[in-house]
Chain A
Amino acid sequence: MYDALQSLLAPWYLEIKFLHLLFVGVWMFSTSVAYVFYLLPVMKAWRRHPEDAEILTLRNWVMERFDEGAIYEHVAFPMILLTGPLLYIAGGWHTGIDWLSLKLLIVLGLFLPMELFDYYLSHFGGNKHRIRLSGNAASYEEHIHMHWMFFLVSTPMVMIYGVLVLFLAITKPF
């Protein structure tokens, strides 16, 4: 079964790799400009002036827009999880390839749980737009705070391990 699948996929290795890299690019960078140049200045202004009503309005708006802006990232991630195993099979990769093992440990141990929480915050129970429509002001504020804490904790981790994963995939150092 595995051999048959490998024979079927092997001729398409480069095409699958192209799709994988395309989605990795979308996943890594699609929210970067919005995050650095729109979300961050507003959130920093809020942290410096937490009671300013105009900044609060803008903070809420920018967070709601960012929830929606994360759609590209969150479409790309499942595509990475789909094309990754296809590449693994097509390329005849195995766990004896050490750089790949490290990369998979990072993806499964860090990026996967982080993204699952991000899906919740952006599109499911933590979606700010939907919470605002429900009229639950306390939950709205709580989820804005939760999302901001998530950004604070995840930003250094994503930047460092995201670059490391790219480095491992491209240079295959060991």
Chain B
Amino acid sequence: MNEIQSKPFVGEPRLYRKITLLGPVVMNAYLYLGMVGVVYGVHGKTWIFSWQPILAAVLFTAVMVRISFPWMMNLDARYGTGSGWQLPSRQIKLPERRLSRIDKAQNEGDES
């Protein structure tokens, strides 16, 4: 196999914006509604409808939305750390796992 092969990665800021908005909203809506199901639906307790848990869920979601986008952009080297790294070129050997018997057999099967 030609090991050196690359194609453009699909990740881009607009997609990250969508993910970091929808992810926390969907996740926290699921958690709140799940808690409504258990706390009120199963046990009949009504505290889950008071303003404190609703405010906590909304604030938690807002904070997550606020921090997730720059976090994701940082991870993907769109900005922040990583720009200061040098790339010294070296010729090295990389340790590889030996082929297991199963992998060998599979490989030989593919070749024949």
Report which A residues bind B (CB closer than 8 A). 40-41, 43-45, 47-58, 60-61, 68, 95-96, 98, 101-102, 105-106, 109-110, 129-130, 132-138, 140-141, 145, 148-149, 151-153, 155-157, 160-161
Pairs across A and B, CB under 8 Å, 30 listed: A40-B75, A44-B77, A45-B85, A48-B77, A49-B87, A50-B9, A54-B87, A56-B5, A61-B96, A68-B97, A98-B45, A105-B30, A105-B35, A105-B38, A106-B31, A109-B31, A109-B34, A129-B97, A132-B1, A132-B3, A133-B99, A135-B1, A140-B5, A148-B11, A151-B75, A153-B19, A153-B72, A156-B20, A156-B68, A160-B64
Which residues of A sit under 8 angstroms from B27, Cβ to Cβ? Answer: 109-110, 157, 161
Report the bound CA distance from A130 to B99 in whole Å. Answer: 10
Interface range, B side: 35 or more
Q: Across the interface, do B85 and A95 meet the contact criterion of CB distance under 8 Å? A: no
Do A105 and B94 form a contact, CB below 8 Å, given A50-B6, A50-B8, A152-B76?
no
Which residues of A sit under 8 angstroms from B77, Cβ to Cβ? Answer: 43-45, 47-48
